[in-house]
Amino acid sequence: MDISLLHILESFGFDGTRATRLVRHQSKSYPVKELRRHDWFELYQAYQRRPVFHDAEQIVSFYGLSGSRAGFYGVYKVGHHRPNSEGPAPAGCEWARRWKRPPGFFYELKRDQRFDGLRDRLIIHWPGARQWVQKSWDNNYVAEILECGRRLPPFSNYLVFRFIKTFTFL
């Protein structure tokens, strides 16, 4: 029996009756790993070319992993939107200039901190990897929940490993 994403989120207080969009960020144009490393990821997802969040009350955000897997990033309440040219731009972010080009929207997104403990730990199966925004919870089952503090990527191949030198004392 598969464990559904909705079931896990509801155990943290998620309201599945509200208008929700599930989003999986994975782009060849924008290096999502680098955006995350510089804490620009939340701002990146607030800029959208199309009105994808206009009728949403909340979004559940993921970043793309290999194949059809996605890593959980957070749950966000969707506030007001305005033209993307009016959105903020972080200093040193070379991609922000492209985010602000019309047409487009900037959404006020507020992170729901109740779900922060699942960030980078909850891995789901993302059906239809080419579809980055979904309204349906169907087929979004949990693939893996990593233990607290784990930052290593999940095991993928016997041929890819790290040699850890150990010392023995006589």
Cβ atoms of residues 54 and 110 within 8 Å: no
Half-sphere exposure of 129 (CA within 13 A, CB side): 13
Instruction: Enter the pTM of the model.
Output: 0.84
User: In Å, how far from its chain's centre is CA 85?
Assistant: 24
Per-residue b or e along 40-64, where b marks 16 or more CB atoms closer than 10 Å to that residue's CB: bbbbbbbbbeeeebeebebbbbbbb
Query: What are 24-66's pLDDT values in tens digits?
Result: 998 878 889 889 999 999 999 999 999 999 999 999 999 999 8
Pairwise CA distance, residues 130 & 40, whole Å: 23
C-alpha separations of 133 from 23, 114, 145 in Å: 5, 22, 22
Helix or strand holding residue 58 (H, E): strand 58-64
Q: Which residue matches tokens 């030198």?
A: 165
CA–CA dist 144, 96 (Å, integer): 33
Neighbouring-strand partners of residue 78? 109
Residue 6 CA neighbour count, 13 Å, CB half: 13
Q: List per-block mean pLDDT (blocks of 10 residues) for the chain, which spans 170 residues.
A: 89 95 89 90 95 96 92 97 93 88 95 96 85 82 85 57 50
